[in-house]
Amino acid sequence: MRPVRKALAGALLGTLLLAGCGQTGTTANPAPATSQTATAETGAGFPVTVEAANGKVTIEKKPERIVSLSSVHTESLFAIGAGPQVIAVDDQSNYPPEAPRTELSGFKPNVEAIVAQKPDLVVVSDDIDHVVAELTKVNVPVLHEPAAETLDEAYQEILDLGTATGNLAKAEEVVDGMKTALDELAAGAAAGKGLTYYHELDETPYSLTSKTFIGQIYALFGLTNIADEAPDAAGGYPKLSAEFIAQADPDLIFLADVKCCRQNKETLAQRPGWKNLTAVKKDRVIELDDDIASRWGPRVVDLAKAIGDAVAKTASE
């Protein structure tokens, strides 16, 4: 496979995506993401301690030179008001546009290059090449916040970043806003009940189940995920056969491999047996933004809006 995007699912999917269409990936370590908790040990001030995947990390003073090696966490840092504290981000952090993008890599981390930025906090979603330990050796605080497996984990990671950067109040506001927006979107989406869907990560094709954080978003709309019945669904990211998809014949198809792999309704119709799928014949192939569809940060609300619009359109037919 060729690399598909980044970030989507912790461990298992990271391996798949790095081998897929050409953007980012998460991690090659199949360990599940850890649920984190953040604790401000001295109220709203510093020092604070954040319990991340790399244990309890104490940050002595408010960081002013943050390096983000994760596109997801770059988005979150700017959303919670920590943007002015961020002095460098990795080469895959393409949002927001004002993020100080560099040649630093989260997938091939260069410790010397990272240290040269003189960071007082580094945020990663992957511990590739033991970058966490290597940075810790030179007394650089590191937060390892891995790919979220659930929406609750996604929320907690945003709160962790808020605590670590002195922006907890804004982080709480962002999380509350996400929850409210998702609740409002789901409240008017009863029309999705009874509809089936297929979410494509890459044209291999890999998909995801309802147990993943993205699957949870689809579930808000009452949609039924065909991948839940796949033979290897237990891992959360099954590889489906063309025969399996044809037999399931989903009502809607959502493509998260548009930018990376140039997939669309026309390319689907060219696949053997796919032109007769209900979603293809009835023009229910939804092209998602690859980045929004693979990142567990604040823009999951935008993903939910895209799903909700597709459900509403289908229900009105």
Please give the mean pLDDT across all residues of the chain: 87
CB 162 within 8 A of CB 222: no
Q: Which residues pair with 37 in a beta bridge?
A: 51
What pLDDT, in 10s, does the model give residues 6-17? 344 443 344 334
Q: Which residue has the higher pLDDT, 289 or 16?
A: 289
In whole angstroms, what is the distance from residue 273 CA to residue 267 CA? 12
Average pLDDT in the 22-45 region?
40
Position 189 scores a pLDDT of 65
Per-residue pLDDT at 86 exceeds 90: yes
* 40 has pLDDT over 70: no
Residue 143 above 50 pLDDT? yes
Is a pLDDT exceeding 80 seen at residue 80? yes
Residue located via tokens 């907690």: 156
Helix, strand and coil content of the chain, in percent to the nearest 5, comes to: 40, 15, 45
Q: How many residues does the chain have?
A: 317
Dihedral, 164, 169, 170, 173 alpha carbons, nearest 10: 130
pLDDT in tens, 213-242: 999 999 999 999 999 999 989 999 999 999
Judge whether residue 26 has pLDDT over 80.
no
How confident is the model over 152-179, as pLDDT tens digits? 999 999 999 999 999 999 999 999 999 9
Would you place residue 3 in the very low, low, confident or very high pLDDT band (cuts 50, 70, 90)?
A: very low
Measured from the Cβ of residue 281, the count of other Cβ atoms closer than 10 Å reads: 10
Instruction: Provide the pLDDT for residue 220.
Output: 92
In the chain, CATH 3.40.50.1980 covers: 34-181, 188-315
What CATH fold (topology level) applies to the domain 34-181? Rossmann fold (3.40.50)
Q: Is 137 exposed, middle or buried (0-12, 13-18, 19+ CB in 10 A)?
A: exposed
- Options 3.40.50.2000, 3.20.190.10, 3.40.50.1980, 3.40.50.300; CATH of 188-315: 3.40.50.1980
Note the pLDDT of residue 230.
95
Instruction: Check whether 4 has a pLDDT greater than 70.
Output: no
